[in-house]
């Protein structure tokens, strides 16, 4: 379970389905899962949008209904670990969640026994979000229930290990975890390419792999990672270290050198957006003009000064 101060939050971009998707996931996952907020934001470049926050098994997500500009694809998926040492009926719970996510979804890897797991499957649900359901080995190193996973493919295939080292050099409370390579005879992937790795950023686990196959998808803005910042110094540091081009971002969004999208956002923004309708409108118009967020300017907009 993640703490209440989860530093890095996956953010999902939907056309109109953010609230429907969140409600579906909360119902499917059960346990410590809940829709925690849903709020409209007016007069954005996407028009009037809805921002949604929700929790699955104690892990926080954010989502937005903001039109069809971006589409979620399997370049970022989410491992859901079912650990028999923590769940009395881990396999049964895995099967039950698979059945719910498969309703209207697409199977990417069938639910079956694999060399790396006694019971595993990869499913793309009806909203386009991909989940990897995994029966953990209870003798292995413990991992949390949900772990975001990235596929480095296309122009960035072969760069998963480089990305891991880059990210762990930026975030505190970070370390490398398990790493396995393809080895010989796994063309088109080179033998040094990463078939699986995991790593910790800010106390949270992430996973990644390389794939040189022609999947037809790549990282885009539909799945980004929102970094909550306590102050302007944190915003400046993450922005300058993560951004491939610090001048190219917009509204706190940036892309790193691997094409992965991040949002560098002050914690204060939630409070500033909880004021009156007039205050929210002023703050919204202020941040729409920003690339990197400026907390002092947002506070002035909130006060109307």
Does residue 3 lie within any of the structural domains?
A: no
Question: Would you state the pLDDT for residue 280?
Answer: 87
The secondary structure of residue 250, as a DSSP letter, is B
Question: Would you state the pLDDT for residue 47?
Answer: 78
Last residue of a domain, one of 149, 181, 211: 211
Computed on alpha carbons and rounded to an integer, the radius of gyration of the chain in Å comes to 20
Question: Would you state the pLDDT for residue 222?
Answer: 98
Sign of CA dihedral 231, 235, 237, 242: positive
Question: Would you state the pLDDT for residue 1?
Answer: 41
Name which of 207, 199, 210 is nearest 170 in CA terms. 199
Does residue 65 lie within any of the structural domains?
A: yes
* Residues facing 261 on adjacent strands: 224, 255
What are 24-81's pLDDT values in tens digits?
999 999 999 999 999 887 777 777 889 999 999 999 999 999 999 999 999 999 999 9
b/e for 273-300, b at 16 or more Cβ within 10 A?
A: beeeeebbebbbebbeeebbbbbeebbe
What are 267-283's pLDDT values in tens digits?
999 889 888 889 988 99
Question: Would you state the pLDDT for residue 9?
Answer: 98
Counting as low any pLDDT under 70, the low residues of the chain are 1-4
Q: How many CB atoms lie within 10 A of CB 214?
A: 9
Residue 272 has phi, psi (to 5 degrees) of: -65, -30
Question: Would you state the pLDDT for residue 83?
Answer: 95
Name which of 66, 38, 67 is nearest 52 in CA terms. 38
Per the structure, the count of domains in the chain is 2
Q: Measured between alpha carbons, how far is 57 from 162 in angstroms, rounded to an integer?
A: 30
Does residue 117 lie within any of the structural domains?
A: yes
Same domain, 61 and 85: no
Question: Would you state the pLDDT for residue 41?
Answer: 77
For the chain, what is the largest distance between any 2 Cα atoms, rounded to a whole number of angstroms? 65
Q: H/E/C letters for each residue in 113-141? A: EECCEEEEEEEECCCCCEEEEEECCCCCC
Q: Measured between alpha carbons, how far is 268 from 228 in angstroms, rounded to an integer?
A: 9
Last residue of a domain, one of 211, 234, 262: 211
CATH number, domain at 97?
A: 3.30.720.110
Does residue 218 lie within any of the structural domains?
A: no
63 and 22 in contact (C-beta within 8 Å)? yes
Same domain, 191 and 86: yes
Range of the domain at 193: 76-211
Same domain, 104 and 183: yes
The single residue listed with the structure tokens 């990282």 is 219
Does residue 216 lie within any of the structural domains?
A: no
Alpha helices in the chain (DSSP H): 18-29, 90-102, 160-170, 232-242, 268-272, 277-288, 295-303
CATH number, domain at 43?
A: 3.10.180
Last residue of a domain, one of 211, 241, 263: 211
């Amino acid at each position: 379970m993640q703490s209440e101060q989860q530093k890095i939050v996956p953010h999902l971009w939907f056309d109109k389905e953010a609230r429907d998707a969140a409600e579906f996931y909360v119902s499917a996952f059960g346990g410590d899962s809940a829709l925690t907020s849903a709020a409209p934001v007016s007069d954005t470049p996407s028009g009037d949008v809805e921002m949604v926050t929700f929790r699955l098994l104690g892990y926080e997500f954010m989502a937005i209904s903001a039109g069809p500009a971006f589409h979620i694809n399997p370049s970022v998926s989410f491992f859901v670990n079912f650990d028999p040492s923590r769940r009395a009926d881990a396999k049964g719970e895995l099967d039950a969640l698979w059945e719910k996510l498969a309703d209207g979804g697409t199977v990417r890897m069938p639910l079956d026994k694999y060399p790396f797991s006694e019971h595993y499957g990869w499913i793309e649900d009806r909203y386009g979000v991909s989940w990897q359901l995994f029966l953990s080995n209870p003798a292995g190193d413990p991992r949390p229930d949900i772990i975001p996973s990235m596929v480095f493919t296309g122009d960035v295939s072969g760069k998963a290990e480089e990305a891991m080292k880059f990210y762990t050099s930026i975030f505190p409370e970070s370390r490398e975890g398990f790493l396995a390579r393809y080895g010989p005879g796994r063309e088109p992937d080179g033998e040094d390419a990463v078939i699986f790795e995991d790593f910790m950023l800010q106390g949270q686990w992430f996973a990644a792999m390389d794939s040189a196959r022609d999947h037809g998808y790549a990282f885009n803005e539909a799945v980004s990672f929102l970094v909550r910042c306590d102050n302007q110094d944190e915003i400046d540091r993450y922005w300058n270290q993560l951004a491939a081009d610090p001048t190219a971002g917009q509204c706190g969004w940036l892309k790193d050198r691997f094409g992965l999208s991040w949002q560098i956002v002050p914690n204060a923004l939630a409070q500033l957006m909880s004021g009156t309708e007039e205050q929210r409108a002023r703050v919204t118009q202020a941040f729409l003009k920003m690339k990197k967020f400026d907390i002092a300017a947002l506070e002035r907009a909130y006060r109307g000064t």
